Structures are given as structure tokens and as C-alpha cells.
Amino acid sequence: MKIAKISIFSFAAALFASAVVLFFVFTIHAPMAVGKLGEAVGWVLAGFMAVMMLIFIIKMIFMSKKTKPETKAKLAPVYRIVNQFHMPVGCVVVALQYLHFALVFNVGDPSWIHFITGYVMAGLLASIVTFGFVAYFNKTPSRKALTVVHQILVVAIIAAFIVHLILK
């Protein structure tokens, strides 16, 4: 399990480093013709975000007081695994988001409405990560409030994603 988590964190770091390099190459040399690659990375990102939502749904079912003990018993092995992968997969989501941003960024037309929704999503994702990390390391009673804000921001990014796709 530990090797898998380290591998996923390493993959996220490599994606993020690639995104940073590509962003600077694209902004220095103007937009490059990457074709549908940026869009494809966006869809891969959407898939990873769906996996994160699945992890959240499993966690909410497992933690619910309404869930029957026999259901919890069946779900426990799955919950233990997905709970371990929330942060590593979340790091991949962030790295993919920056890679997508680097591939579709157009320094010549930063005001286009599709890019504005992308900027909003980037800000929301940064906020989600910030609240998630603070909640993870905060062992005080305020942790619950931070977690709720983290979850509300997830709903906001889903709404922004829908608008982002509509304005495509």
C-alpha cells in the first residue's frame, strides 16, 4: 500500500513538473499547436475528479449513522483502501489540472470566457487543496468546519465544471 501511495505521489510530482515547464515554454514562445492534447488531458482530469467523488461517496456511506452494520462490514475493506488513496489521487488531480492549464493557456487571448471559467476552477481547486490540507493537519474541533468548507468547495467546482463545459 505504501509503495502504491509513493508511486502515485511521484506521478503527481512528475505531472506537476511537466506542467510548470510546459507553461513557461508556452508563455515564452507563445501558444504552441498541441491540438487536442490539452482537451484530452482535461477529460482525463474529469475522470480523476470522478474517482475522487466516488471515494467521497464511499466514505459518506461508510460514515453515515444510517448505514446498517452489515453494510459497513461489507464496505470496510473497500473503505480502508479508498481512504488511503484520497490524498495521492487528489495530488494527481491537482497536477493534471495544472498540466491541462499549461496546454490550453493562450497568452494572446486571456479574456476568453472559457478561460475565465478555467481560472475560476483553478482557484477553487487551490482552495479545496488548502482547506483539505489544513483540515488534515488540524486536530482541533474546528477540523469539522474545515472539512465541510472543503466539501462545499467540491460542489462549487462541480458547478464550475458544468459551466466550463457548456461555454466550451
- Please give the Cα distance from 8 to 14 (Å, whole number): 10
The rounded distance, in Å, linking the Cα atoms of 83 and 102 is 30
Residues 6+ apart with CB under 8 A from 31: 105, 106, 107, 108
Burial of 143 (0-12, 13-18, 19+ CB in 10 A): middle
Sequential pLDDT tens for the chain (168 residues): 788 888 888 888 888 888 878 777 766 666 566 667 888 888 999 999 898 888 888 888 888 889 998 988 888 888 888 888 888 888 899 899 888 887 877 656 655 677 788 888 889 989 998 998 898 888 888 888 998 899 899 899 989 988 888 877
